[in-house]
Amino acid sequence: MNHLPLLELRGVSKRFGTSQDVVARIAKVFGVGLPDHTVYAVDDVNVSVFPGEIVGLVGESGCGKSTLGRMAVGLYGMTAGQRFWKSEQLEKLDPASRRQKQLGMQLIFQDPVSSLNPRMRVRDIVGEAPVVHGMVAAAEKNAYVEELLQRVGLNADALPRYAHQFSGGQCARIGIARALALKPELLVCDEAVAALDVSIQAQVLNLFMALRAELNLTYLFISHDLGVVRHVADRVLIMYLGRIIESAPTPALFSSANHPYTQALLAAAPRLEVRKMVFTPVKGEIPSPLHPPTGCHFHPRCPHAFHRCKVEIPTFREIAPSHFSACHLND
Amino acid sequence: MSEDARNAQVVSSPALETPMRTFYRNFFSSRVATIGLVGLALIFLAALLAPVIAPQNPYDLATLDIMHSRLQPGERSLDGQLIFVLGTDEQGRDMLSAILYGIRISIIVGFASTTIALALGLLAGLIAGYAGGRVDSLIMRAADIQLSFPPILIALILLALTGPGVSKIIVALVAVQWAYYARTARSAALVEREKPYMEAAVILGLSPLRIIARHLLPNCMPPLVVVAALQVASAISLEATLSFLGLGLPVTEPSLGLLIANGFQYLLSGKYWISFYPGIALLLTIVAINLVADHLRDILNPQLAK
Amino acid sequence: MASDHESALASNVPRPTLEVQNLTTEFVTRSGIAKPVRGVNFSVMPGQIMGLVGESGSGKSLTGYSIMGLVDHPGVVTCGRVLFKGVDLRGLNSAQRRAIRGDRIAMIFQDPMMTLNPVLRIDTQIMEVVSAHYPVDRQTARAMARSALVQVGIASPDERLSAYPHQFSGGMRQRIAIAIALINKPDLIICDEPTTALDVTIQAQILFEMQKLCREAGTSLIWITHDLSVVAGLADTVCVMYAGEIVESGTVQQVLALPRHPYTSGLIACAPSRNKPGAPLRQINGSTPSLLALPSGCAFRNRCDRASDICHTPPPTVDEGGQSFRCFHPMPINKFNESVG
């Protein structure tokens, strides 16, 4: 395998905040200012995705995984950090070249139906972008789209139809065809199968795996479903409230999870094999990203928390070959 | 790749179900709206064929004879050629002809001003909604200022400055109405902008212009079509009001409003037909438009959710 | 039927809290009559948790609504009996049904905002449920509301009572909805995918509370979901629905360890945990048929690799030791008593 990452995110952060307007700033001067509502949706994250691998990104709501996925493809700007595509720093390029290079990364959305323009026919949904970018001549658009649809398991009679005429699973396939139309090298799947029925989910996951083999695709697979991630991913990253707290090859993560949050997550997920499960919930709510706990974000809910956890952010260190974790218990 | 993994069939619909076909089906399912549309079509036809079917050309001053003034409905002209079916006004104009030509003017003014206002407001609103930030603030403040004035006041001022005339009335009506469309377009744009298919368009590398024109615009149209349909009636009645106040069209090219105004002084002395019939014509036009627009709103709204 | 119940009482055999017999719901559409619920039969004993499993379009949610009498035009429950403690709910008038709803039978929905009114305070909403059925004064009702919040694990209940729904997270709102459902100590709660939209750790909290509360109060639970693993961990019995019919039912142990119906077997087989990581998942080919164009006989036959000509006729219901299924060609059991998939 190539030792250079296809996509690399270094020290990437995303802050969402209400930047204060003139009135608020004046008020602040007089000491009656309103508090600054800043959300660090993503906080100093490092991710490398190597060619041909499937990297799983797991977390619950508010952890920032969707934001991270969108920053990776360039939909959201970064507040801090650098983004490298094939070792080239994207933000240093001029906007036109950057847009061109970014086409190599495409996003598959969570809700397949609403990710398709309700007023466009399938042949335009899939075929518009390649024609606009000059990859395919306008006269050949229909043939190109037909070939793509066949690759994802749909018939040519889908071309003149509209999105609302298809089921969820079929819309997911159309979305995949649209992404593939630009011949990407990396697909970011943002909870791409979460909204699908179990039996359809299996079909779509198999499609992803087949496409990886046929087209040499690389995946960043964002999901909250540990079972699915365990099945498809080579490597798993666990996110909590904007930070990556554990990273390991899939077998290692599931057999010897290190971080208490990962352990809690694995324990909380119901499994088909376990009857009459005794649910051992993690105490407390997921904190709001507006008021994250100090130090280690997980300390209010962690059964092993001690004083240091409240004060100091744990470093993300290697605790076993390729297995990284951010927990003071490892020191 | 295995057949299993490719497995899917396209959902086959009875016919190729386009949005237009669904729309027609939904529209004509309401009897009331269909009646309204038929009525509107008749009115349009009457307006279109006015030069052909009107017994007299009310603009041609030579054909008017002051001896015919204020004749009752059903009376004949002095030479016995014409029956003044709806009577005459104080200048001897046949009311029926005047009404037919008046409808023509009202419809032209109403639809033209609505269409232009729709186009301008749509453009402004979409750009404001999509771009956000300063551009949005600028455009919306302009719209807000515009909307805070009573429409009649703005129209009055403009017409006082420019003088009467069909094109000038249209300009005045556009100036009054564009802000309403802009605001509606902007809120639709704000909602649609957040939807995943818009994000997808950005990730596909499409230019902002293309995204606004090809992706945003078609999806923002339904609420605007509803507003436009309702506003046509409003534009027509605004023009009638302005003419009634004497600031609209010249006396020689009467619109319905002017006809009503002219006959106003005669209402109490028994010569009701000079105001009454143009009033009825105006009422029917507006009611027909409203019936159609109301139903449009009902069917286009659930479709928004689709 | 009355004598059956009398003799049942006399012999101290526990009577089911809910017994659904041949329930059918129809929707009249422009393109024909659709039957999203067709001939559904099951029963739930006191204190038992039954899982009702199916994918989208299986009719599982509508079954729950049909039991509660919440089906609106153009849908109508056309036949069947819903015996709640021996009384047929379908035979009651709306006032009688209203008396039972919220008091003896409660329902929890996937979206807690289907239960909660965004403009009313939490205490008002919980107290309303009590005072609708019992004559209590404000003080008592408020105290009951407070202890209901404590029961579902909400900290600082006094502050929370004066708050509005939008001030809570999704998990908290669902817990409040559960508190509302539980406050009159109903005999049966119907839960329609209540944890599907929640995070795994929050789901675990809620499942923990539900388990505890049902064990303590002896409440029966119908848990409607598409997630077999939740049913595995939570439920005692399970019914699997496909295209409006129950295709298999039995205890969780029976059905999950030895699924007999090919659909159940396929559903279990395509779970990622039942497949080797990295290998293609076993899948069920095709997709759910449209309710307006159901295949004759067995609705699953077009997707089933065990189907034959006889499957064009409606399959019989076979009962084997408490596990029942509707199939001409059930999955065989090999001599080691494992279902061969």
Query: Chain C 164-193, CB below 8 Å of chain A: which residues?
Result: 169-172
Contacts of B7 in chain C (CB under 8 A): 285-286
Backbone angles phi, psi at A287, to 5 degrees: -65, 150
Q: Is A313 helix (H, G, I), strand (E, B) or coil?
A: coil
**Mean pLDDT, each 10-residue run in order, chain C (341 residues):** 51 82 90 89 92 91 91 88 91 89 90 91 92 90 90 83 88 89 91 88 86 86 93 93 94 92 92 88 86 89 90 90 91 66 46
Which chains form contacts with chain C, at 3 or more CB pairs under 8 Å? A, B
The pTM (predicted TM-score) of the whole model is 0.84
Question: Alpha carbon of B94 to those of A205, B284, C90: distances in Å?
Answer: 78, 20, 70
Q: Map residue C84 onto helix, strand or coil.
A: strand
Count of residues making up chain C: 341
Residue C327 sits at the chain A interface (C-beta within 8 Å): no
> How high is the pLDDT of residue B300?
72
Residues of chain C positioned with their CB less than 8 A from the CB of A250: 277
Collect all residues of chain C within an 8 Å Cβ-Cβ radius of residue A168.
56
Tell me which chain A residues have a C-beta less than 8 angstroms from the C-beta of B12.
Answer: 157
- By C-alpha distance, which of B78, B89, B108 is closest to B252? B89
Inter-chain residue contact B10 with A155, CB threshold 8 Å: yes
**Among C192, C177, C185, C183, CA closest to C68:** C192
Residue A185 has pLDDT above 90, yes or no: yes
Q: What is the pLDDT along chain B (306 residues), one digit of tens a residue?
A: 333 334 444 444 444 567 677 777 777 878 888 888 888 888 888 888 888 877 777 777 777 777 777 777 777 777 777 777 787 877 777 888 888 888 888 888 888 999 999 999 999 999 999 988 899 999 999 999 999 999 889 888 888 888 878 888 899 999 989 999 999 999 999 999 989 999 999 999 999 999 999 999 999 988 888 888 888 888 888 888 888 887 777 777 778 888 888 788 888 888 888 888 888 888 888 888 888 888 887 777 654 443
Mean pLDDT of chain A: 89
- For residue C292, give the H/E element and its range: none
Distance CA B301, CA C198 (A): 30
Cross-strand bridge partners of residue A47: A9
Residue B45, helix vs strand vs coil: helix
Point out the residue among B4, B9, B11 whose CB comes nearest to the CB of C283: B4
CB contact under 8 A, C286 and B7: yes
Average confidence (pLDDT) over A8-16: 92
Q: Name chain C contacts of B8, Cβ cutoff 8 Å.
A: 286-287
Using CB atoms, list chains with 3+ pairs below 8 Å to chain A.
Answer: B, C
Tell me how crowded residue C139 is: count the other CB atoms within 10 A of its CB.
8
Please answer whether residues C165 and C116 qualify as being in contact, where contact means their C-beta atoms are separated by less than 8 angstroms. yes
pLDDT score recorded for residue A212: 93
Comparing C-alpha atoms, which of B134, B42, B96, B90 is closest to residue B266?
Answer: B90
CB A329 within 8 A of CB A259: no
DSSP letter for each residue of C38-81: EEEEEEE-TT-EEEEE--TTSSHHHHHHHHHT-PPTTEEEEEEE
Alpha helix ranges (H) inside chain B: 3-6, 19-28, 31-48, 50-53, 95-131, 133-148, 151-162, 166-193, 196-203, 208-210, 217-244, 256-264, 273-305
CA angle B105, B111, B115 (to 5 degrees): 145
C-alpha–C-alpha distance, residues C106 and C96, integer Å? 15
CB contact under 8 A, A118 and B215: no
Answer whether C256 sits within 8 Å of A61, measured CB to CB. Answer: no
- Binary contact (A128, B204; C-beta < 8 A): yes
What pLDDT is recorded for position B65?
Answer: 72
SS3 C245: strand
At B306 the pLDDT is 36
| End-to-end Cα, chain C, rounded Å | 41
Q: For residue C35, what are its two tokens?
A: 């039957």
Q: What is the pLDDT of residue A175?
A: 96
Judge: A114–B195 Cβ closer than 8 Å, yes or no: yes
- Helix C200-217 / helix C170-182 crossing angle, nearest 10 deg: 10
Q: Cis (ω within 30 of 0) for the bond into C74?
A: yes
Identify which of C219, C264, C220 has the alpha carbon closest to the alpha carbon of residue C239: C264
Beta bridge partners of A40: A15
CB C200 within 8 A of CB A224: yes
8 Å CB contact between B170 and B116: yes
Distance CA B46, CA A63 (A): 66
CB < 8 Å to C202, chain A: 60, 285-286
Sheet of C49-53: strand order equals C105-108, C188-192, C220-225, C49-53, C237-242, C245-251, C323-326, C317-320
A206 pLDDT above the threshold of 90: yes
End-to-end CA distance of chain B: 34
C180 three-class SS: helix
Computed over its alpha carbons, how large is the radius of gyration of chain B? 24
Written as one string, the DSSP assignment of C93-161 is -HHHHHHHBTTTEEEE-SSGGGTS-TTS-HHHHHHHHHHTTS---HHHHHHHHHHHHHHTT-SSHHHHH
Residues of B in contact with C287 (CB under 8 A): 8-9
Task: Work out the angle between the directed axes of helices B31-48 and B273-305 (0-180°, nearest 10).
Answer: 130
Size of interface B-C (CB pairs under 8 A): 13
Residues from chain B that touch A206, judged by Cβ atoms under 8 A, are 4-5
Q: Give the strand pairing for B83-84 and B75-76.
A: antiparallel
Quick check: C208 and C202 in contact, CB under 8 A?
Answer: no
In which order are the strands placed within the sheet that holds A80-85? A38-49, A7-17, A80-85, A88-89
Task: Give the strand pairing for C75-84 and C87-88.
Answer: antiparallel
Residue A167 and residue B12: Cα distance in Å, rounded?
11
Residue A318: CB atoms within 10 Å: 12
* Residue A174: HSE in the Cβ half-sphere, 13 Å Cα cutoff: 37
Substitution target in B2, B3, B7, B9 with the highest count of C β-carbons within 10 Å is B7
Q: Given this model, what pLDDT does residue B303 score?
A: 47
Give buried/exposed letters for C145-172 (b at 16+ CB in 10 A, else e): bbebbebbbbeebeebbeeebeebbbbb
- Whether A203 and B5 lie within 8 Å, measured CB to CB: yes
Return the pLDDT at B183: 93
Q: Which residue of chain B has the CA closest to A132?
A: B206
Tell me what pLDDT residue B102 has.
Answer: 85
Q: Which of A203, A271, A276 lies closest to C229 in CB terms?
A: A271
The tens digit of pLDDT for each residue in B28-52 reads: 878 888 888 888 888 888 888 888 8
| Number of helices (H), then strands (E), in chain A | 11, 12
Compute, in degrees rounded to 10, the torsion defined by CA atoms A140, A141, A144, A146: -120
Which chain C residue shows the shortest CA-CA distance from B2? C280
Using CB atoms within 10 Å of the CB of residue A57, give its burial: 0 to 12 exposed, 13 to 18 middle, 19+ buried: buried
Nearest to C204 among A201, A281, A286 (CB): A281
Alpha-carbon distance of B295 to B30, in angstroms, equals 8
The pLDDT tens digits of the residues spanning A230-242 come to 999 999 999 999 9
Count Cβ atoms below 10 Å from residue B163 Cβ, excluding itself.
Answer: 9
CB-CB under 8 Å, B214 with A207: no
Residue A259 scores a pLDDT above 70: yes
What distance, in Å, lies between the first and last C-alpha atoms of chain A? 33
